[in-house]
Structure formats: C-alpha cells, structure tokens
Chains A and B, each alone.
Chain A
Amino acid sequence: MSLWEYANPVKFMGLSSRLIPTLSVLTVLCLVIGILWGFFGTPDDYKQGSTVKIIFLHVPSALMAINAWLMMLVASLVWLIRRHHVSALAAKAAAPIGITMTLIALGTGAIWGKPMWGTYWAWDPRLTSFMILFVFYLGYMALWSAIEDSDTAADLTSILCMIGSVFALLSRYAVNFWNQGLHQGASLSLDKEQHVDDTYFYPLILCMAGFILLFVLLVLVRTRTEIRLRRATALAARNR
C-alpha cells in the first residue's frame, strides 16, 4: 500500500468519491460555524470597530492563495518526475481556485483598507506581491488553455510552475527592497507569539480550517471533472 496507488485514475476516482461527502459536511460545518461565530460572536475591536471581522475571510483566503500555488508546485514536480496524469490534472484543477482566493484576498483587503488606511490600494510590498501572484496564475492558466496536446501542456505548465515559483519568491523579496510597507506584520505565526486575541483566534482557526477543506474539496471535484473530460475525449476519439 503506497500513496502512489492513487496515481491510478480509477483508484483516485474511487477514493475521492468516498471522501467527497465527508469533506463537504466538514467544510460546511467549519465555514458556517467559523464565519457566524466570527461575524456575530466576537466583539468589535476598540480601534478598528466592526471592520476587524473581515479578517475571517481575508486571512484564510490569503493563506490558500499561496498554498494553492505550493500545491501546484508539488503536483508539477510529481508529474515531471513520476509522470502521473492525476497529478498534472490536479495542478490544472487548483489554478482557478488559487486565482479566486487571490482575488478574494485582494478584494477583502481593499474593502478593509478604505476605512482603515483611507485607501483601497497602496503599492505596499504585500499587496504588490499578491498582484504579482495573480499575474503568475494568469500566465499559468493561459498556457494550459493555449496548448492542445495534453501531455505537452502538462510538461510545459509544470516547468513554468517551477520557474515561476523561483521568480515569484524573488519578486516577493524584490518588492520588499523596493518600497516601504503599510501592511501590518503577520497576525499568526507558528514560531512567534501571536498578535491576535483569543476571542478572534479561535473562530479564525476554524475559518482557516474551513478554507483549507474547501480548497481540498474543490480540487478533488475539479480533478474528477478533468479525468472525466479526458475519458470523454478519449471515447470520442475512439468512435470517430
């Protein structure tokens, strides 16, 4: 029994069809409880008022915007090294979700930024690097849709994802070098003291778990769609 067994599309379809119902329930539970608790169960911040509550959407979506790209990178490496088709399709499936998360993070940030910073947009390093991440997602998705042969497309997008990761990381630090920040430091961290009070912390953790589950769920569903599409194309080609 190894993880690579699920590289077999049939096994993957079997496992994912069994996982999806449980995952859906968990996702809905986490998101509904997390967001309701966050929006209605926490007090207003003494400085930010009720706008603080956008953190329950902003932080989880920003988290997933970056981690979706990381997941694509891992899946691309798996495709390049072991050539498992499910892996390439999972990377393809994750990109639109990642770009949506990036947009949500930018959008919620702008809504919060207007009352707090007095502006929807500033050329702050963090905001700028998210804009850059958005452009990287765009290029990746455009490349997928531009190439007809699916194996070539998987190869080329994987290489682009690898190189893109290097340069996205470089851009992240280059913009730090280029401009001073307006964005506050990280609210949560694994190795440092947290900057968020427990009242906000617990619902936030729940929302983050919800977004992670939502991402996994959507990737599974979309990968299944891609596999079915692949099968349908193969059938159509055989019948011709």
Chain B
Amino acid sequence: MLALFLRDLKLAIRTSGGFGLALAFFLIVVMFVPFGVGSDLTLLARIAPGILWIGALLACLLSLDRIFQLDAEDGTLNVLATSPIPLSGVTVAKSMAHWVTTGLPLTIAAIPLGYLLNLPSVAYSWLCISLLIGTPALSFIGAFGAAITVGIKRGGLLLSLLVLPLYIPTLIFGAVTVTKAVEGLDPMPSLMFLAGLTLLSVVIMPFASALALKSNLS
C-alpha cells in the first residue's frame, strides 16, 4: 500500500499538469471574486471564508478524474485488482495520495489567498485547521465519484454532478467553522462535525469505491 501511495505521489508530481493546476485554478477562482462583486474590503472580508472553501472544493474537484482514469486506461487497475491488497486498500492509498497532492497544498495556499480577500486575522488558524481536517473528506468522497465514473468516456461533467452534492455537508461545516471564527463565536462545534464527517468518509468511502471499481472492472 505504501509503495502504491508513493508511486501515485511521484506520478502526480512528475507528470506535467496535475499538481500545480489545482493551485492555479484556486488562485484564479479567488481572483475572480473581487472582479465579480467589487473590491470593497469589508464585503470581501465577510464572504472570504465561503469563497476560500468553495474555491478549494472546486480545485479539488478538477483533479479527481486522474485518480483512477489513467490507471484504468493502461490496465494498471486490473493488475491492482488482482494484487494481494484489497481494492478498498488501493482506494485508501490513492485517496491519500490525492489528498497530499491536492488538499494539503490547497490548505497552505489558502493563507496568502485569505490575505488577498482581507480575511480577518483571527480566522487564519481556523481556516487552516478546517481545511486540514476537511479536505481528506473531499479526497475520499471524490475517489468514490472517480471510481463510479471510471468506465465512462468523458465522464468529467457527470463526475462533478455526482460528487458536488456529496460535498454539501463538508462545505457547510467547513465554511461555518471559519465564519464563526470571523464573527467571534465558538467555531468548535462545527469543527467537530467536520472532523466526524471526515472520519465517516474515511471509513465508508473506500468500501463503496471498491464496490464500484469491482463492478466497473468485471
């Protein structure tokens, strides 16, 4: 499993245009917001938590189809399916690799982007913690969507239609955590819900993804 995790990491970093694209997309989404709503700093400060969470979520969505698509095309996935690791283990390794190459950089990139949006200084630590805790859920749920659509040619649009509704609870709890921090209220309850959601996704999603992969491979 570790070997598979490291292999996916290397592939993501060395092949062009997987790793940096999500970050660039995140930057562009955040940059577009002032163009859309105006550069009023107080308004930006108020909507910054939501924008940063939505931006991170969309950027995460972009790289989802890479989790299984390339391996399915060249047959690696068939080999992995016959390997001693169960398919759910394969999914865990791949989801973790996706998180390290997407969720983690997005969390770090959110800090300077938060500054661009005039996010109040009290909220930075909560923004980071909430993204750090919440983005694994995005990767694990996303891997499930990728597993379902792996057999469909040009399934990118369908993938977003399937995955985005599943992201709703994560987005709500994540954004509410930061908003509460901005308003000076206690962000702990929603952060706890977010953590619970991530744990739930980590527990059930690999099995669901394995089931979907099995059905797609047969």
A positions within 8 Å CB-CB of B: 132, 135-136, 138-139, 142-143, 146-147, 152, 155-156, 159-160, 162-164, 166-168, 170-171, 174-175, 177-178
Contacts and interface: CB of A to CB of B under 8 A. Distances in A.
A177 B204 contact: no
Nearest to B189: A177
Contact of A167 (B161, B166, B216): B166
Contact of B161 (A142, A163, A166, A171): A142
18 contacts: A132-B168, A135-B161, A138-B161, A139-B162, A142-B161, A143-B162, A147-B151, A152-B151, A155-B211, A155-B215, A156-B148, A166-B204, A167-B165, A167-B169, A168-B165, A171-B165, A174-B168, A177-B173
Interface in B196-218: 197, 200, 204-205, 208, 211-212, 215-216, 218
A121 to B, nearest CB: 18
Given A143-B148, A174-B172, A177-B190, A159 B165 contact: no
Contact-size category for B: 20 to 34
Nearest to B215: A155
Contacts of B164: 135
Nearest to A134: B165
Interface of B: 141, 144, 148-149, 151-152, 155, 158, 161-162, 164-166, 168-169, 172-173, 176, 190, 193, 197, 200, 204-205, 208, 211-212, 215-216, 218
Nearest to B179: A178
Contacts of A152: 151, 215-216, 218
Contacts of B193: 174, 177
A139 B173 contact: no
Nearest to A169: B169
Nearest to B173: A174
Which of B141, B166, B216 has the most chain A CB within a 10 Å cutoff? B166
B197 A159 contact: no
Contacts of B205: 163
A163 B208 contact: yes
Contacts, number: 75
Nearest to A155: B215
Nearest to A171: B168
The 8 closest A-B pairs by CB, nearest first: A155-B215, A174-B169, A170-B169, A174-B172, A171-B168, A135-B165, A139-B162, A167-B166
A100 to B, nearest CB: 18
Contacts of B141: 167
A163 B166 contact: yes
B168 A146 contact: no
Contacts of B208: 159, 162-163
A132 B166 contact: no
Given A143-B158, A152-B215, A171-B168, A163 B144 contact: yes
Nearest to B196: A170
A88 B162 CA distance: 19
Nearest to B217: A152
A139 B165 contact: yes
B212 A164 contact: no
Contact of A164 (B152, B165, B190): B165
A152 B169 CA distance: 28
B197 A136 contact: no
Nearest to A172: B169
Given A143-B148, A178-B172, A136 B165 contact: yes
Contacts of A166: 200, 204
A170 B197 contact: yes
A187 to B, nearest CB: 27
Nearest to B175: A178
Nearest to B144: A163
A159 B172 contact: no
Given A135-B165, A174-B169, A174-B193, 18 more contacts: A132-B165, A132-B168, A135-B161, A135-B164, A136-B165, A139-B162, A143-B158, A147-B152, A152-B215, A152-B218, A156-B212, A163-B204, A163-B208, A170-B197, A174-B173, A175-B172, A177-B190, A178-B172
